[in-house]
Amino acid sequence: MAMKIDLSGRTAVITGASRGLGESMARALSEAGAQIALVARDVKRLGVGTRCDYGGAATAALFVGDVTREADVAAVARAVTERFGHPQILINNAGSNIRKDLVDFRWRSFAASWTRV
């Protein structure tokens, strides 16, 4: 028996929403009735999500921003609040990584990657 959750009247903000887990979570929350604020850095990739059928009666809106930039986070927060009111759900799915072989990795590079997030 499938569990049914009703998120009608709720707003979910999903960072990293342009693909993968973020896109899947957006679809699931939308099907449960939530309004969806899709947030990602790449406007072209994020636009692909709007062509997906999010199902349910939910509303989805796109917001472009980089969560490693404080000004972007503040601007997206204001825009989401103006569009939907205060959100009740946050899925902080945005990620970052450095791709190199472990033997080529230095502590200074690793530490610097964490100060950006």
List pLDDT tens digits, range 64-105.
998 888 899 999 999 999 999 999 999 998 876 667 776 777
Could you give the 3-state DSSP secondary structure of residue 4? coil
Cβ neighbours of 5 (radius 10 Å)? 11
2-59: pLDDT as tens digits: 678 999 999 999 998 888 888 889 888 988 999 999 998 877 776 655 544 555 445 8
Q: Residue 19 burial (CB < 10 Å; 0-12/13-18/19+)?
A: middle
- Dihedral (CA of 59, 82, 62, 5) sign: negative
Report which DSSP code applies to 32. Answer: T
Q: In 3D, which of 76, 100, 57 has the Cα closest to residue 16?
A: 76
